[in-house]
Structure 1
Amino acid sequence: MKKMIVVILSVIIFSMVFSATITEIKAKGKLLVGTEPTFPPFEYVDENNNIVGFDIDIAQRIADKLGVKLEIVNLPFDSLIPALMQNKIDLIIAGMTITEKRAKVVDFSVPYFNANQSIVVREGEKFRPVKLEDLKGRKVAVQLGTTGDIVVSEISEIKVVRFQKFTDAFLELQNKRVDAVVLDEAVARAYVKKFPKFVVSAVIDTGEKYGIAVKKGNSELLNFVNNVISEMFKSPYDLLVEKWFEKAQQ
């Protein structure tokens, strides 16, 4: 039994430590980036069925710097970290907020985007919450595993309804089965601009920062990603912001 335990522990430790080096990524000729493409303008599927967005352009730049092809792996948001830990992907670029809990199991790049949460309700109704506490006693839809899920779950009086896709959360709001949706501000504003039947009732200053997730201990790849982000801040980053966020407001 002791031998079996040692073997199991060894497998777990090996799985945690082993991850693709830059040399191995170049050898296979592609960078595997996990995302959940229902989060415009960061990542979404366009009219030509291509996964595009702010995060995807950043992923493409990292792949270009590595000299390899970019391959986007479409996964549910709550499956991204397990996939990274199991070596099914090399990076997570998915509008993922850096949190202490997540940082215990993955390594995060330097922040590349500052974000807040927002409360969205139906247009034309009297209910206009201005803070999270106003949602007490209400049914609130969120995307599973997101920061929106985390912040509303901390308030026990809120009835949280979770979905794999934030668009399903909005469908529940449209059909009056929930009272509000809580999600990232940039995504909320882009969606409300497209569907004026909803309105952003409040923005919650949560001081969030998005980071790119790398497997724990893969300092080589993490340093490379950090260098690419640092280079982007010098010029291309502003162009990406203008490209994706001004487009979302049109």
Structure 2
Amino acid sequence: MDLVKAMAEKMGRDVKIENLGFDAIIPGILAGTIDMGAAGFSITPERGKRVLFSLPFYKSGLTILVPKANNAGIADFKDLEGKRISVQIGTTSQTFAKKIPGAKVTTFASAGEAVLNMIAGNADAVINDKPVTDYMLVQSKSIADQTTHLKPIATADLFAMVFAKNNSELKAEADKALKALKADGTFNKLHEKWFGVPADPELP
């Protein structure tokens, strides 16, 4: 919402935030009841048949959290073979971890519990969604002090805002605003506020 409000300011427009369920946003755009969707929309060919995408504003994916000591010597996903891994149950992290040869995977109700299990010495690593881990480390200095968030990203996704196919004018305005926010440093400030780290340099 912070990013959308900053974009609206650059565009010289008033913004009205509508809180919809994720699966209701694109139908709302197609019906014309909302102008723009701003959530975790991955840029996919399938969605591209129905909507227009803005420039990407976030690079997501699965990342690895290890204890500060990192006695298992984990630096990348290939190093997880045969290791003890904690994950949140029912997530893409669990699905991914199950495919790692020889890994001993333990599941938990929340990502936080998976991390605490690792800190207690019962796992060598946690696989989790990058934004969730970034946010957790910003919120908990204790966890941040005891862990290292590794750089490699698996199953990387770019997130973008979505617009109706016939609304290319608004999309162009939004892209221009995003570029301006990236150029003047506002975009990075917001990213650091919420995730504690600068935005991915590969974002256009």
TM-score > 0.5, shorter chain as reference: yes
From the superposition, tell whether residues 100 and 220 of structure 1 become closer, same or farther in structure 2 (CA, over 3 Å).
closer
2:25 maps to 1:84: yes
The answer to whether the 8 Å contact 1:108/1:222 transfers is no
Deviation at 1:169, TM superposition (A): 0.8
Deviation at 1:125, TM superposition (A): 5.2
Residue type of the alignment partner of 2:28: N
Deviations 1:139-179 (A, max 9, x none): 44258666x577x269354648586xxxx212222034764
Q: 2:159 aligns with which of 199, 210, 219?
A: 210
2:173 maps to 1:232: no
Q: 1:155 aligns with which of 99, 115, 120?
A: 99
From the superposition, tell whether residues 100 and 129 of structure 1 become closer, same or farther in structure 2 (CA, over 3 Å).
farther
Q: 2:87 aligns with which of 141, 152, 162?
A: 141
Residue type of the alignment partner of 1:240: F
2:63 alignment counterpart: 118
Higher relative contact order (CA 8 A, sep 6+): 2
From the superposition, tell whether residues 105 and 143 of structure 1 become closer, same or farther in structure 2 (CA, over 3 Å).
farther
Deviation at 1:130, TM superposition (A): 1.6
Q: 2:148 aligns with which of 188, 200, 203?
A: 200
Residue type of the alignment partner of 1:209: L
From the superposition, tell whether residues 247 and 57 of structure 1 become closer, same or farther in structure 2 (CA, over 3 Å).
closer
Deviation at 1:106, TM superposition (A): 5.3
How is 1:164-179 mapped onto 2 (pairs within 5 angstroms)?
168-176=110-118, 179=125
- 2:18 alignment partner, SS class: strand
Deviations 1:202-224 (A, max 9, x none): 2115564321134xxx2134541
Larger strand share, 1 or 2: 1
The answer to whether the 8 Å contact 1:117/1:203 transfers is no
Instruction: List alignment gaps of at least 5 residues for structure 2.
Output: 198-204
Instruction: List alignment gaps of at least 5 residues for structure 1.
Output: 1-55
From the superposition, tell whether residues 156 and 208 of structure 1 become closer, same or farther in structure 2 (CA, over 3 Å).
same
From the superposition, tell whether residues 145 and 58 of structure 1 become closer, same or farther in structure 2 (CA, over 3 Å).
farther
The answer to whether the 8 Å contact 1:121/1:181 transfers is no
Deviation at 1:118, TM superposition (A): 2.4
The answer to whether the 8 Å contact 1:109/1:222 transfers is no
From the superposition, tell whether residues 115 and 201 of structure 1 become closer, same or farther in structure 2 (CA, over 3 Å).
same
Deviations 1:186-212 (A, max 9, x none): 653453353325423521155643211
User: Aligned pair count?
Assistant: 179
How is 1:1-250 mapped onto 2 (pairs within 5 angstroms)?
56-61=1-6, 65=11, 66-73=13-20, 75=21, 80=22, 82-87=23-28, 90=34, 91-100=36-45, 103=48, 107-114=52-59, 117-124=62-69, 126-137=71-82, 138-141=84-87, 152=96, 155=99, 157=101, 159=105, 161=107, 168-176=110-118, 179-184=125-130, 188-193=133-138, 194=141, 195-196=143-144, 198-205=146-153, 208-214=157-163, 218-221=164-167, 223-235=169-181, 238-245=185-192, 249=196
The answer to whether the 8 Å contact 2:60/2:159 transfers is yes
> Matched residues in 1 for 2:170 and 2:89: separation?
31
The answer to whether the 8 Å contact 2:52/2:162 transfers is yes
> Matched residues in 2 for 1:68 and 1:135: separation?
45
Q: When the two structures are superposed, what TM-score results if normalisation uses the length of structure 2?
A: 0.60
RMSD: 4.1
